[in-house]
Amino acid sequence: MRKAAIACTVVAALWCGQSAAQTTAYAPGHGSPNSIVLSVPVTASINNHCGFATAPSGTYNQPDFDAVGLLHDFDFVLDCTLPLRVGVVSSNGGLLANAGSLPAGYIAFAPYDITLNLVGDTTSVSATCAAATLTTGSTCTTFLGPATTTQGLRLDDSASQTSGSYLRVSAPPYPGPDVLVAATYNDTLVVTLSASP
């Protein structure tokens, strides 16, 4: 009996502090119940996340863009459990060729527009900036990158890998008055994403 008391005491330290009732299971034929079900609740949590399921990438190459213009969509897929922002930075602010010094009336730089279209689970948002206003520190604050919690085009919605988001580059045939010299022109756009709860 003492043993039992000690055991209880020991046990009490561990168990008896908890005001749960004891249940005894008996071997069949020796009492009831014969089994006790012990429920062990299991809970878990999944952290918020935000990123591109498919990031915008690739190269769009348009011959004779001075005559036919530019039009191309870079598709991407958002995967974000929170509202988010996307920002864009243009390295050259337009299409630029390395053509050396040029005579008056000739030019090696052509402007174009960038349209950002973000599709979420229930809403979407779209905006356009001229590439010239998306160089580092420039003026199109609508979606000048890099994206942060407070900078960039905001999609006030989650986006569970919904399709339809794109970055579009567009321009009409070059209207002049300057003449674009024959050359290869390029620009690089860096697109960044940030949660914006």
Partner 1 sequence: MRIGLLSGTVLAALAFAGVAAAQTTTGTVDVVGTVGEKCTVTGGDTSTTFSDTFDALELADTDGTLRAIAPFSTAGSSWRVHCTTIPDVSISATSMANVATAPSGYANTVNYIAYADFDVVTGPDETISTPSGGSSGPTTLGSHLQNVTDNVVIRADTFTTPNVGDILVSGSYAGLITVTITP
Partner 2 sequence: MRVILGAGAALALIGAAPLAAAQTTGTVDITGSVGERCEFTIDSGLITLGELSGTGGALDAAVVNGASDTLNGWCNGTAAEMTVEAHALQNITYVGAPPAGFETVVNFTATATATPSGGPVSANDSSAVAGAGAPSVVGVFSSDIDVVLSAAATPGGGKLIAGSYEGSVDVTLTPSP
Rounded CA-CA distance 100/23 in Å is: 91
44 binds partner 1 (CB under 8 A): yes
Binding-site partner at residue 6 among partner 1, partner 2, none, CB < 5 to 8 Å by type: none
Rounded CA-CA distance 108/77 in Å is: 34
| Binds partner 1 by CB under 8 A, chosen from 83, 110, 119, 152 | 110
Min dist. Cβ of residue 82 to partner 1 (A):
12
The answer to whether the beta carbons of residues 84 and 193 sit under 8 Å apart is: yes
Identify which range of 40-48, 119-127, 134-142, 153-161 contacts partner 1 by CB under 8 A: 40-48
Residue 142 phi/psi, 5-degree rounding, is -55, -45
Min dist. Cβ of residue 120 to partner 1 (A):
16
175 binds partner 2 (CB under 8 A): no
Rounded CA-CA distance 154/84 in Å is: 6
Rounded CA-CA distance 116/107 in Å is: 28
152 binds partner 1 (CB under 8 A): no
136 binds partner 1 (CB under 8 A): no
59 binds partner 2 (CB under 8 A): yes
The closest alpha carbon to 181, from 61, 101, 93, belongs to 101
- Nearest CB to partner 1, comparing residues 66 and 157: 66
